[in-house]
Amino acid sequence: MRVLVFGTFDLFHQGHRDFLRQAAACGDELSVIIARDRNVKQIKGVLPIDNEKTRLGNVRKYPAIVNARLGYEDCTHVYDVLNDIKPDVICLGYDQNGFADRLPEEIIRRGYAIPVIRLNAYQPQKFKSSLLRVSMRYA
């Protein structure tokens, strides 16, 4: 069963590792799409601290991943990964929105019936990239 996850994975931390662990438990083939820098800027309003190549390299080190790659650079094609990977299930983080908000309608529009599972948070008061970013600013 192919599992697909998306994310920025900035400042790769224990919350990301737990997210990937939970997603890997949902199937036997985990694929990860890393958001492009320009798409992160467009969605979140700020560039990630780690660039897309660093983030991809960090995620690829996680042992359960079969396939990790950068997403499409053009925001109009970000959902094309559904056609590329043809997942059996998609897992989202507890706080993913933006891209994820339109995901259910894109799944239907493309003729798929892919369940979307929201995974549990792992110590979100401690392991969240936006919080780590703020703490770095004051360190």
What would the pLDDT profile of 55-66 be if each residue is shown by its tens digit? 999 999 999 899
**Residues linked to residue 3 through DSSP beta bridges, in sequence order:** 30, 89
Q: Would you state the pLDDT for residue 116?
A: 96
Dump the DSSP string for 77-111. GGGGHHHHH--SEEEE-TT--GGGGGHHHHHHHTT
The total number of structural domains in the chain stands at 1
Say if residue 119's pLDDT is above 60.
yes
Average pLDDT over every residue of 33-60: 93
* C-alpha span between 82 and 138 (Å, rounded): 40
Average pLDDT over every residue of 98-115: 91
* C-alpha span between 110 and 130 (Å, rounded): 32
Say if residue 131's pLDDT is above 60.
no
Average pLDDT over every residue of 17-31: 97
Say if residue 97's pLDDT is above 70.
yes
The range of the structural domain enclosing residue 131 comes to 2-137
Say if residue 138's pLDDT is above 50.
no
Q: Confirm if 90 and 103 have CB atoms less than 8 A apart.
A: yes
Q: Would you state the pLDDT for residue 78?
A: 81
Q: Would you state the pLDDT for residue 99?
A: 74
CATH number, residue 92: 3.40.50.620
pTM above 0.75, yes or no: yes
Q: What is the mean pLDDT of the chain?
A: 88
Name the band, by pLDDT with cuts 50, 70 and 90, for residue 139.
Answer: very low
Contacts of 134 (CB under 8 A, 6+ apart): none
State the CB neighbour count (10 A cutoff) for residue 61.
Answer: 9
Closest CA to 51 of 74, 66, 70, 65: 70
Say if residue 14's pLDDT is above 60.
yes
